[in-house]
Amino acid sequence: MKKFISHLTLAALAAALCASAQEKPQTPPRGQPGQQNKGRAAMPEGVQIQRNIEYVPGGGTSRSLDLFLPDSAKPLPLVVWIHGGAWKAGSKDFCPGIFLTGRGFALASLNYRLSQEAIFPAQLDDCRAALRFLRANAKKYNLDADHIGVWGGSAGGHLVALLGTTGDISNKVQCVVDWYGPTDLTPDGPAHGHKIDVITQLLGGTVQEKPALARQASPLYQISSNSAPFLIVQGDADHTVNPEHSQRLHAALQKAGVESTLKILPGAGHGGPQFTSEENRAQLEAFFRKHLAPAK
């Protein structure tokens, strides 16, 4: 099998993710003032906001979510946003999906335990717990429990890809939007020599020390014919997560007979304004509408 990183070693991936989290985080580190929707669409009228809901009793800020609930006579399909930040930073306070609340969707934005709080699979366990909470409380919040999609960027893209390729009835999702998430954390390729890096911190040891856990944490190796439909978006100038991660995920999903769309954005890096252009927002909305609209 062709090695999954041809232009960027696992060491470089870890270093780049770490640098991205430290220098230009896609979301603000917890504890700093939130930047909710700065530069994004204004909150549509009639949207009820419920913040800091603990989806695990006693879970505190680390296991809490915000809900954005449009007024509706019918239960609404739900999109769940999962933030990035190299698994060690970031916050639910910065969510790019507010525009969806004016298009017939409810929206949730959630925190999860960061890698300095707990090692993998704690982050995935938290995301699954949030989905179970939302389904269990669907009637209370006027949500359509049978139509839930997930969307995330970078480390959040990694987590939503895992949600889309694993899970049972209580935490299964109907579709996934993965923005530039790493998909293979295994020690394929040159060994990385970093003693402290984001992947080591996530796993609680190097990928050489924990190859089985690294594989468990890699969406690429969890794909089956039961995986959810995917929309994968990444920039071809992304120097943090090599585009080959997305390309290989897309190919493996298609091979398994799973619907997958891959969009490579020319000149785009690891995030940036190209991802929230009107064209890309329209594609994202159409994808969610296709897979989350209730059956007539």
| Per-residue pLDDT tens digits for 87-122 | 999 999 999 999 999 999 999 999 999 999 999 999
Q: How confident is the model at residue 295 (pLDDT cuts 50, 70, 90)?
A: low
Stretch 200-205: mean pLDDT: 95
Answer whether residue 191 shows pLDDT above 70: no
Residue that is written with structure tokens 């080591």 in the block: 200
pLDDT for the residue 293: 86
Answer whether residue 223 shows pLDDT above 50: yes
For helices 155-165 and 122-136, what crossing angle results, to 10°?
Answer: 60
Q: Distance of CA 194 to CAs 6, 183, 188, 248, Å? A: 19, 20, 15, 25
Which domains does the chain show, CATH number per domain? 10-24+36-292 (3.40.50.1820)
pLDDT for the residue 41: 57
Tens-place pLDDT, residues 241-273: 989 999 999 999 999 999 999 999 999 999 999
Stretch 281-295: mean pLDDT: 92
Residues 6+ positions from 73 with CB-CB distance below 8 Å: none
A 10 A CB-CB count for 175 gives: 22
Ranking 164-168, 172-176, 274-278 by mean pLDDT, the lowest is 164-168
Residue from 220, 109, 227 nearest 174 by CA: 227
Answer whether residue 144 shows pLDDT above 80: yes
Q: Which pair of structure tokens corresponds to residue 200?
A: 């080591």
Answer whether residue 154 shows pLDDT above 90: yes
**ω into residue 266 within 30 of 0, thus cis?**
no
pLDDT for the residue 10: 56
Q: How far apart are CA 129 and CA 118, in angstroms?
A: 15
Tens-place pLDDT, residues 10-68: 555 555 554 444 434 334 456 443 333 443 457 888 999 999 999 999 999 999 999 99
Residue from 136, 183, 160, 162 nearest 80 by CA: 160
- Contact, 272 vs 236, CB < 8 A? no
SS3 annotation, the chain: CCCCCCCCCHHHHHHHHHHHHHHCCCCCCCCCCCCCCCCCCCCCCCEEEEEEEECCCCCCHHHEEEEEEECCCCCEEEEEEECCCCCCCCCCCCCCCHHHHHCCCEEEEECCCCCCCCCCCHHHHHHHHHHHHHHHCHHHHCEEEEEEEEEEECHHHHHHHHHHHCCCHHHCCCEEEEECCCCCCCCCCCCCCCCCCHHHHHHCCCCCCCHHHHHHCCHHHCCCCCCCCEEEEEECCCCCCCCHHHHHHHHHHHHCCCCEEEEEECCCECECHHHHCHHHHHHHHHHHHHHHCCCC
